[in-house]
Amino acid sequence: MQVPAKITNERYRLNYHVSTPSGWMNDPNGCSYYQGYYHIFYQYYPYSAERGPMHWGHYRSQDLIHWEELPIALTPDSPEDDNGCYSGSAIKKDGRLYLIYTGNHYYDVNDHSRFCQTQNVAYSDDGVHFTKYSGNPVIAVPPADNSQHFRDPKVWQHGDSYYIIVGSQDKTGLGRAITYKSTDLLHWEYLGPIAVSQGTDNEGYTWECPDLFSLNGQDVLLCSPQGIAAKGKKYLNLYQTGYFIGKMDYHKNQFEHRAFQELDHGHDFYAAQTMLTPDNRRILFGWLDMWHADFPEQADGWCGALTIPRELTLKNNQLYMKPIKELKQLRQEKVIDEKLMTSLKQINVSDPQHLELLLTAETEDWSGSEINFILKNKQEDLVTLTWNKGNNEVVLTRADKPADDSRRYGRLRPKSNLKIRVFIDTSSIEFFINDGELVFSERYYASETPQIFVNADQPVKVNIIGYTLAK
């Protein structure tokens, strides 16, 4: 009998983010709304803070803010998924909640380079207890021109049919997204690829976690390619998460699209998945970590968290991400509300680790060139966000990373004011700049209560509002 991992130290535990109860967490899965609750599942290994055979952990919420832990939804206990119930999605049909997920099987458990991946179904009538379909796998083999990489089905309904998009790799070693069609979620017809990598260095050798949805009259293909080579100040993470904007032709199974764009510019963001709320907002969660990073919390019996939920909008052929409106419910005390002209301001609050900050700097006629937001220990700057007026570039610097991996970059459109909204939660910090035009998601690990500073090379008019945030 395996014993779940036990948390031995709370020093890095997040207060208001979805996080693993203990053990390991990665991708968000099955984001959905069913019987009055939002549901979020996640890749979960309960027995260690190291990654192991994947289960589906499960939370539900009535407001996207306060989450109730539910029993494990999927356990890798079937021949087709004995080495992991990998990522997937959820949909409601005829009153039931269906999960569609990838089963992973290693031909040799000591050789993880050879595996079989299949698509499988489980269902529930109460949204809590799930039964695997007796006819699994519902898609037993990938297409003939596909490699063994064949995972992460995302399901949706269009017209009278159901579709899934699956992340895959063709036999020439190029990442791609392929689609299937069904009338009952159990029997699937292969349609073909709708988008293919234009070269390994350019768009990756494998695409994970694809998600196709409509927004503002256009279609968006979200995915997480692996293998894109760094190009100057772009694609600096080990793996990317980004999107193509285009138009899906369901009759031809074709997706005409623009170039790939990164979605979040921080060090810690991957495997994002979206869902539609009852009021038709497109909400996104991402994994607030990155493969092969350092995970100091593993020493404490846990590892992994998800981003705060974000609402997506499409403007200027770009996805914007902003914190969902429900997060305002977490606001407790307003701890700062100041308008001042300053070149150096320490933001003194009683609890700087559970905080929302809104900073607006009047920069249109400002004579300076640089504004910094700094989260620091006494000894060092932990996280620094720098805006350069001359080129509208934003640079995020992490002190705990090697020098050649410490910085991430983005560029803003010209605007009269600089607006930065910051969410801090024990060991995470998320920046939303100019209403979500640029977003940086980061983990940080402080050995003491950090301090927060805003500085500029010339005095600047700035409005600072801050709230402590509840669990």
**Integer Cα distance of 12 and 36 in angstroms:** 32
- The helix (H) or strand (E) run that includes residue 203 is helix 200-203
Would you give the distance in Å from CA 348 to the centre of its chain? 31
Using the 8-state DSSP alphabet, how is residue 187 labeled?
S
CB atoms within 10 A of CB 123: 18
Distance CA 106, CA 114 (A): 6
For residue 304, give Cα distances in angstroms to 28, 59, 209, 287, 426.
11, 15, 17, 8, 13
The tokens for 64 are: 């996207």
Length reported for the chain? 471
Catalytic residue among 27, 81, 152, 425: 27
Query: H-helix or E-strand containing 272?
Result: strand 270-276
* Alpha carbons 23 and 152: distance in angstroms, whole number: 22
**How many CB atoms sit inside 10 A of residue 392's CB?**
17
Phi, psi at residue 338, to the nearest 5°? Answer: -135, 140
Give the 3-state secondary structure of residue 230.
coil
Is 211 in the active site?
A: no
> Assign residue 83 a region: left if phi > 0, alpha if psi is -120 to 50, beta otherwise?
alpha
Three-state SS at 79: helix
Q: Provide the token pair at 451.
A: 């301090």
Q: Which residues are catalytic?
A: 27
